[in-house]
Amino acid sequence: MSFFNKLFGKKGDSQKPVVARNMFNLQMNDIITYDFEDYTIVGKINYDDHGFKWHAYQLEGVSKTIWLSVEMDDELYLGIYEKVKLKLSEPLSKKIEYNGIIYTLEEKGKAMIHGIGRSQNVNGMTCEYYDYCDEEEEKFLSVEKWGSEIEVSTGYEIEEYELKIIASN
**Pairing relation of β-strands 126-133 and 163-166?**
unpaired
pLDDT in tens, 108-133: 999 999 999 999 999 999 999 999 99
Mean pLDDT, the chain, rounded, equals: 91
CB contact at 8 A, 153 and 141: yes
Question: How far is Cα 155 from Cα 75, in angstroms, rounded to an integer?
Answer: 19
Closest of 61, 73, 48, 58 to residue 26, by C-alpha: 58
pTM confidence score: 0.88
pLDDT bin (cut points 50, 70, 90) of residue 15 is: low
DSSP state of 120: G
- CB within 8 Å of 36: residues ≥ 6 apart: none
Residue 86 predicted with pLDDT over 90: yes
- Residue with the bigger pLDDT between 17 and 121: it is 121
